[in-house]
Structures are given as C-alpha cells and as structure tokens.
C-alpha cells in the first residue's frame, strides 16, 4: 500500500512539474507578440513606420531608378559622391562594374541587407501564416501580398547584384541566393539568374487571383495592379516584350492616369 501511495505521489508531483514547465514555456516575454491570427499577420505586414523593423515593407530602394530617365545629376551633385558612394555614379552612367569599393570597413551594404531583410521577413510569414485559419479569405490575401513583396525584393536584388537577364545564358549565369527558410540559416548559394526570374514570375502570377484589383487608402498593400505592373517590368527586363505589353495593358486597365508634377510639387528641385 505504501508503495502505491509513493507511486501516486510521484506521479502527481511529476504532472504538476510538467504542467508548470509547459505553462512557463508558453509565457511570452514582456513586449513580445507571436503572430497567430490573420489579424496578427495583417499588423505584421502593415508596420510601415520603421518603429518596429529596420526596413519597412512600404519602402523601396531608389537605385533602380538611377538607371532611368527619372534621375538627373548636375556637376555639383556629381562631385559630392565620395569613394564609398562611387557605385551611385557607376549606376547612373551604366558602367559594367558597379561595386568597385572594397575595404575592411565596407561591410554594411545597405541595399543588399534591406532587401534580404524583406525576403527573410516574407519567407517567415509564408511559413507561419498557414496556421492562422480564423479567416481563410484574409489569409489568402495576406499570402498573396507577401508573395508580391518578396518577388519585388528579388527583382531589385537580381538587377543590382547580378548580370542582366539574357535568355541565351541566364541558366548558367549566377544570380542571387534564394532563401525559402531563413530560420534554418541556409548557406547563401547564388542561384542562376533564370531561377531567380522564374521564382519572381511564379510568385507574382500565383498571387494575382487573391489580390484586390486596385490599391485602397493603404498604398503599401499590393493589389492586382501592382502585380501586373511588376510583371510588366520583369518581362521587360527579360526581353519578352509581348508579355511586358500584355501585363502593362492589364495594369493600365485598372489604373491609367498620369501625375502632373507641375501641380504636385512647385518648390525647389532637389536632384538625387
């Protein structure tokens, strides 16, 4: 009888300890929140003021614009760029070699870090949001928005850090690393340019059905018009002009007006 009592007592205290340990492990540190519902993931995607994250999903890098006619340097501005910002001038004049500055102190390449921050954040969201089943319609939309954010980050990365797309050799040309599971700390092996572009197109095309047609008051949230526009630019970079034309027209069917910068801004022009 005593043996039975001891066994019961040991079992009881073991159960209490296990229960306490489980409860302790389930308590979140103060100030920390783990996204569990679609509302949580909506907040995660909507933090756009940089108060929580080092780089916001509402931001985009301007380096790609340096390759367009939208940017102009005068001689004064041109001479302000030092050795560590030489790449800005290299982009502006279409030099084959952009990143020419190498030194032990040059370890923080902001555009690489920021875009891979977005890739890592989006990949983490996509791996976890499948657990948030309280609103399946919203879940699908959030997944679609996340795919657009990640695809655009890859489009910027592959165009800044890899050779231009060429159908003849894209499969054998090194692009940038594709990171699907950042939590596992994968090795940063450079995927081919073709694989990166294939991922971009696939992400955008799969996102379109679950996106609203146009942006609402929240301009940072992707919509069909956003995905169509990015696809048009992607196919333009790939030299597939028929597809670029197709998706550009789809975007213009939703939103097709021009800004009059004479009325938007009338102050002093500040060059890049």
Res 223: pLDDT: 94
Report the sign of the C-alpha dihedral through residues 233, 238, 244, 246, in that order.
Answer: negative
Among 28-32, 47-51, 119-123, 204-208, where is mean pLDDT lowest? 28-32
Cβ–Cβ contacts within 10 Å for residue 246, how many? 14
Asked if pLDDT for residue 228 goes beyond 90, the answer is yes
Q: What are the angstrom distances between the C-alpha of 10 and each of 1, 20, 43, 95, 98?
A: 14, 15, 46, 75, 69
Confidence of residue 265 (pLDDT cuts 50, 70, 90): low
Res 97: pLDDT: 74
Res 256: pLDDT: 87
Asked if pLDDT for residue 34 goes beyond 60, the answer is yes
Confidence of residue 104 (pLDDT cuts 50, 70, 90): very low
Res 16: pLDDT: 42
**What's the pTM value of the predicted model, to 2 decimals?**
0.77
Among 12-21, 92-101, 160-169, 225-234, where is mean pLDDT lowest? 12-21
Which has more confidence, 81 or 227? 227
Report the sign of the C-alpha dihedral through residues 24, 29, 33, 35, in that order.
Answer: negative
Res 90: pLDDT: 82
Q: How far apart are CA 106 and CA 108, in angstroms?
A: 6
> For 141-155, how does the pLDDT look when each residue is reduced to its tens digit (9 = 90+)?
999 999 999 999 999
Average pLDDT, the chain: 79
Provide the strand spans (E) within 172-242.
174-177, 190-192
What DSSP element (H or E) covers 175? Answer: strand 174-177
Asked if pLDDT for residue 186 goes beyond 90, the answer is no
């Amino acid at each position: 009888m005593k043996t039975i009592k001891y066994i019961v007592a040991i079992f009881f205290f073991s159960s209490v300890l296990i229960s306490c340990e489980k409860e302790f492990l389930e308590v979140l540190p103060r100030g920390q929140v783990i996204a569990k519902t679609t509302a949580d993931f909506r907040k995660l995607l909507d933090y756009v003021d940089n108060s929580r994250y080092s780089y916001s999903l509402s931001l985009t890098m301007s380096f790609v614009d340096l390759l367009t006619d939208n940017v102009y340097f005068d001689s004064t501005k041109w001479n302000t760029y030092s050795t560590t910002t030489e790449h800005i001038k290299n982009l502006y004049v279409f030099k084959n070699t952009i990143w020419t500055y190498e030194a032990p102190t040059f370890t923080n390449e902001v555009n690489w870090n920021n875009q891979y921050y977005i890739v890592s954040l989006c990949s983490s969201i996509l791996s976890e949001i499948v657990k948030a089943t309280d609103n399946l319609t919203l879940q699908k939309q959030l997944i679609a928005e996340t795919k657009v954010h990640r695809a655009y980050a890859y489009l910027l990365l592959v165009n800044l850090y890899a050779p231009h797309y060429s159908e003849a050799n894209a499969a054998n040309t090194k692009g940038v690393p594709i990171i699907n599971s950042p939590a596992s700390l994968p090795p940063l092996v450079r995927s081919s340019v073709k694989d990166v572009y294939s991922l971009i197109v696939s992400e955008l095309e799969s996102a379109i059905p679950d996106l609203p047609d146009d942006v609402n008051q929240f301009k940072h949230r992707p919509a069909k018009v956003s995905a169509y526009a990015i696809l048009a630019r992607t196919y333009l970079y790939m030299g597939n002009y028929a597809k670029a034309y197709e998706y550009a027209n789809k975007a213009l069917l939703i939103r097709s007006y021009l800004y009059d910068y004479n009325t938007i801004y009338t102050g002093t022009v500040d060059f890049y």
